[in-house]
């Protein structure tokens, strides 16, 4: 039996879903409702995000406990076919939040949350709707009100105006990969509105997790100055891959609009042949000189923006330390940094036994080399012994997986 009889759907987003044994099987991403002609929409199930970003349908009848902390299922057996919404269904968060509606007194308001309410054991429907007045006074947020579903006009009309503020509030706690997955499930117009409302850094992180055609589509809907700003926030290798998908004229326009310091590494990466170390690498690994200390190295790898693969080691080079650097000397892995006295110099604890990669080394050989030595990152050095970048294990995986691995392949589902 459900532990509550009313719960607002936005509060469910991100909650863990458990089987009866207490093992987590996924996280709530949305609630599916079926439109009815006379009564409020009936809740038919939950969309849950499973490992490998697969979204599946969980019938509401399978939910035996639902509260502010978790959702518990009656069985651990789950239909793993990917969720696909039917023509008579709506997703509460994706389709109904931020819609403009008319209240009983004739004023305009925006939907900020909707409650699902249990009217008999195992059966739920949409009930109270939380709305915010659409204020015409600049800088003022309208007051919050709650109404019954039947009291509002404009909730399910296809032409209803829909903003992004409430949905962004729900989505802001998601990891970039999960937010990218959620964007793919939105209708085109809604997807582009949400993407445009993200700040440059957040949008850059999300673009890096989307399939290439979605990246191009979203970038094309931005004005060119904003598109250039977003490209500047992306990792240089991801920006180069995205620009390579654009027509040459558009590519050049965006590169010219980027700040020279930001476009330079992107331009350099685009000169390498596809599926080589030069094309796969990031041009901004952690680099220090040999007279830096172990403490300096530990401080650098603690930086929040670094991926785990890039934070795994420090590359040591002669000045300058911007790529292409001075002569490459070797690496110091984080485990070695943890074992050495903080005041020791990096030049005294270098590891030089693994040869760096040349920029033209093909993907198959890169994979073989990294697997042989159990590496998560490896240096790429040019013919003058200068460090030009590093290939990480996530760079390799992106190119080894099928080209469409980020795609949402929709299939039919069972409803019970």
DSSP letter for each residue of 385-411? SBEEEEEEHHHHHHHHS-TTTTS----
Residue among 149, 165, 191, 190 at smallest CA distance from 110: 165
Q: What is the pTM of this model?
A: 0.62
Other CB atoms closer than 10 Å to residue 138's CB: what's the count? Answer: 5
pLDDT at site 407: 58
pLDDT beyond 70 at 348: yes
pLDDT at site 187: 76
In words, the CATH class of domain 93-165 is mainly beta
Pairing assessment for the beta strands 313-317 and 287-288 based on DSSP bridges:
parallel
Spatial separation of the C-alpha atoms in residues 305 and 65, rounded to whole Å: 38
pLDDT at site 54: 75
Q: How confident is the model at residue 2 (pLDDT cuts 50, 70, 90)?
A: very low
Weakest-pLDDT range from 36-45, 170-179, 375-384: 170-179
pLDDT at site 366: 94
pLDDT at site 408: 52
pLDDT beyond 60 at 179: yes
Residue among 363, 373, 372 at smallest CA distance from 401: 363
What percent of the chain lies above the pLDDT cut of 90? Answer: 46
Query: 17-39 as b/e, with b when 16 or more CB fall inside 10 Å?
Result: bbbeeeeebbbbbbbbbeeeeee
pLDDT beyond 70 at 274: yes
In words, the CATH class of domain 287-400 is alpha beta
Asked if 114 and 92 count as a contact pair (C-beta separation under 8 A), the reply is yes
The H or E element spanning position 124 is strand 123-133
pLDDT at site 160: 55
Average pLDDT of the residues in 55-78: 84
Most confident among 178-182, 242-246, 296-300, 352-356 (mean pLDDT)? 296-300
Average pLDDT of the residues in 18-28: 88
User: Quick check: do 6-90 and 93-165 share a fold?
Assistant: yes
Q: How confident is the model at residue 137 (pLDDT cuts 50, 70, 90)?
A: low
Phi and psi at 246, nearest 5°, equal: -90, 155
Phi and psi at 206, nearest 5°, equal: -70, -40
Mean per-residue pLDDT of the chain = 86
Residue among 235, 174, 220, 199 at smallest CA distance from 392: 235
Q: What is the CATH number of domain 198-271?
A: 1.25.60.10
pLDDT at site 158: 59
pLDDT at site 162: 63
pLDDT beyond 60 at 332: yes
pLDDT beyond 80 at 59: yes
pLDDT at site 410: 47
pLDDT at site 263: 92
Average pLDDT of the residues in 32-42: 87
- How many distinct helices (H) and strands (E) make up the chain? 14, 17
Spatial separation of the C-alpha atoms in residues 276 and 210, rounded to whole Å: 22
Average pLDDT of the residues in 357-364: 94
In words, the CATH class of domain 6-90 is mainly beta
- DSSP assignment letter at 230: H
Pairing assessment for the beta strands 63-66 and 6-8 based on DSSP bridges:
unpaired
Q: Where are the alpha helices (DSSP H) in 200-284?
A: 200-207, 212-221, 224-233, 236-244, 248-257, 260-269, 277-280
Domain ranges of the chain: 6-90, 93-165, 198-271, 287-400
Tens digits of per-residue pLDDT, 70-117? 888 887 777 778 788 887 888 999 888 888 889 998 888 989 999 999
pLDDT beyond 90 at 356: yes
Average pLDDT of the residues in 148-171: 75
Q: Which residues pair with 361 in a beta bridge?
A: none
Residue among 213, 256, 262 at smallest CA distance from 236: 262
């Amino acid at each position: 039996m459900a532990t509550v009889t009313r719960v607002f759907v936005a509060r469910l987003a991100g909650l863990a879903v458990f089987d009866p044994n207490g093992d987590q099987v996924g996280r709530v991403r949305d609630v599916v409702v079926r439109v009815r002609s006379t009564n409020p929409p009936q809740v038919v199930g939950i969309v849950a995000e499973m490992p490998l970003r697969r979204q599946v349908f969980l019938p509401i009848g399978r939910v035996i406990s639902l509260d502010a902390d978790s959702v518990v299922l009656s069985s651990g057996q789950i239909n793993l076919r990917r969720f696909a919404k039917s023509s008579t269904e709506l997703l509460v968060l994706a389709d109904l939040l931020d819609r403009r509606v008319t209240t009983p007194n004739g004023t305009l308001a925006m939907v900020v949350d909707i409650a699902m309410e249990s009217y008999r054991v195992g059966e739920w429907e949409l009930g109270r709707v939380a709305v915010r007045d659409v204020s015409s006074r600049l800088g003022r947020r309208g007051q919050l009100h709650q109404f019954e579903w039947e009291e509002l006009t404009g909730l399910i009309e296809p032409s209803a105006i829909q903003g992004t503020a409430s949905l962004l509030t729900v989505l802001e706690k998601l990891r970039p990969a999960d937010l990218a997955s959620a964007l793919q499930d939105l209708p085109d117009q809604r997807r582009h509105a949400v993407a445009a409302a993200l700040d440059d850094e957040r949008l850059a992180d999300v673009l890096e997790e989307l399939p290439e055609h979605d990246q191009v589509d979203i970038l094309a809907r931005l004005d060119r100055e904003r598109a250039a700003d977003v490209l500047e926030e992306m990792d240089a290798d991801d920006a180069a891959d995205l620009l390579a998908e654009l027509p040459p004229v558009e590519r050049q326009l965006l590169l010219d609009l980027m700040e020279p310091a930001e476009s330079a590494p992107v331009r350099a990466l685009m000169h390498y042949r596809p599926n080589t170390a030069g094309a796969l690498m990031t041009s901004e690994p952690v680099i220090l000189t040999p007279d830096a200390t172990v403490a300096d190295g530990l401080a650098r790898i603690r930086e929040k923006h670094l991926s785990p693969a890039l934070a795994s080691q420090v590359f040591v080079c002669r000045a300058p330390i911007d790529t292409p650097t001075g002569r490459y000397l070797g690496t110091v892995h984080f485990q070695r940094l943890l074992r050495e006295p903080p005041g020791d110099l990096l030049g005294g604890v270098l590891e030089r036994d693994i040869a760096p990669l040349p920029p033209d080394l093909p993907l198959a050989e890169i994979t073989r080399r990294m697997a042989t030595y159990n590496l998560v990152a490896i240096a790429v050095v040019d013919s003058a012994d200068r460090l030009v970048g590093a290939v990480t294990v996530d760079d390799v995986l992106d190119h080894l997986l099928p080209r469409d691995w980020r795609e949402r392949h929709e299939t039919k589902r069972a409803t019970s």
